[in-house]
Amino acid sequence: MILNFSFKNFQSFRGTQQFSFEPISSKKELGPVRVAAVYGANASGKSNFLNALYFVSYFVRTGYATGDANSQIPIVPFLLDSESRSNDTEFSIDFIASNLKYEFSFGVNKNEVTYENLTVYRSKQPSLLYDRSSINGEQSIKFGSTFTGVKKQLWDITRNNSLFLSAAAAAGSDVIQPAFAALANDINLYDATHYLAELATIKKLFINDDARAQMLSQLIKYADIGIDGMDVRQSEGVMGLKESLIGLDEIPEEARNKIAEDFKLSFAYDLVFHHKGSGDGFWLGSAHESEGTKAALAFFSVALRSLSSGATTVIDELDSSLHPTLLRDFVSLFADPDTNPKGAQLIFSTHDVTLMTRTSPMEEVLERDQVWFVEKDSEGASQLIAAMEYSPRANENLGRNYLNGVYVPLPNPSFHQLVAQLMKEGADIDG
What's the pLDDT tens digit per position in 380-427? 999 999 999 988 887 788 888 888 788 876 666 666 777 777 787 776
Q: Domain range holding 114?
A: 1-186+310-431
Question: Which of 269, 285, 309 is at the close of a domain?
Answer: 309
Looking at the 3D structure of the chain, how many domains does it have?
2
What's the pLDDT tens digit per position in 14-26? 999 999 998 876 6
pLDDT on residue 195: 82
| Whether residues 20 and 125 fall in one domain | yes
DSSP 8-state code for residue 13: B
pLDDT on residue 255: 58
pLDDT on residue 412: 62
| Whether residues 156 and 302 fall in one domain | no
| Whether residues 278 and 395 fall in one domain | no
Is the distance from CB of 252 to CB of 184 less than 8 angstroms?
Answer: no
| Whether residues 164 and 246 fall in one domain | no
The one-letter amino acid code at 393 reads R
pLDDT on residue 429: 65
| Whether residues 235 and 261 fall in one domain | yes
- pTM for the full predicted model: 0.85
pLDDT on residue 131: 98
| Whether residues 70 and 152 fall in one domain | yes
| Whether residues 123 and 14 fall in one domain | yes
| Whether residues 14 and 62 fall in one domain | yes
pLDDT on residue 13: 98
Q: What is the CATH number of the domain that holds 357?
A: 3.40.50.300
Burial (CB count within 10 angstroms: exposed 0-12, middle 13-18, buried 19+), residue 207: middle
Which residues, listed in sequence order, are joined to residue 128 by a DSSP beta bridge? 119
| Whether residues 6 and 141 fall in one domain | yes
Q: Going residue by residue through the chain, which has 431 residues, state the pLDDT in tens, using 9 for 90 and above.
A: 999 999 999 999 999 999 999 887 667 777 889 999 999 988 999 999 999 999 999 999 999 998 899 999 999 999 999 999 999 999 999 999 999 999 999 999 999 999 999 999 999 999 999 999 999 889 999 999 999 999 999 999 999 999 999 999 999 999 999 999 999 999 999 988 888 888 888 998 988 888 889 888 888 887 766 788 888 888 765 444 444 445 555 566 665 565 556 555 656 788 898 887 777 888 888 888 888 888 888 988 999 999 999 999 999 998 887 888 888 889 999 999 999 999 999 999 999 998 888 765 556 688 889 999 999 999 999 999 999 998 888 778 888 888 878 887 666 666 677 777 778 777 666 65
| Whether residues 63 and 199 fall in one domain | no
pLDDT on residue 191: 84
How distant, in Å, are the alpha carbons of 416, 418, 419 from that of 427? Answer: 17, 14, 12
Question: Which of 294, 309, 324 is at the close of a domain?
Answer: 309
| Whether residues 59 and 170 fall in one domain | yes
Dihedral angle sign, alpha carbons of residues 272, 273, 274, 277 = negative
Question: For 374, how many CA atoms within 13 A lie in the half-sphere containing its CB?
Answer: 28
How distant, in Å, are the alpha carbons of 102, 159, 171, 364 from that of 64? Answer: 21, 8, 11, 44
How distant, in Å, are the alpha carbons of 36, 238, 381 from that of 259? Answer: 38, 15, 44
Is the distance from CB of 387 to CB of 401 less than 8 angstroms?
Answer: no
Is the distance from CB of 77 to CB of 85 less than 8 angstroms?
Answer: yes
Question: Which of 287, 309, 331 is at the close of a domain?
Answer: 309
pLDDT on residue 239: 47
| Whether residues 275 and 388 fall in one domain | no
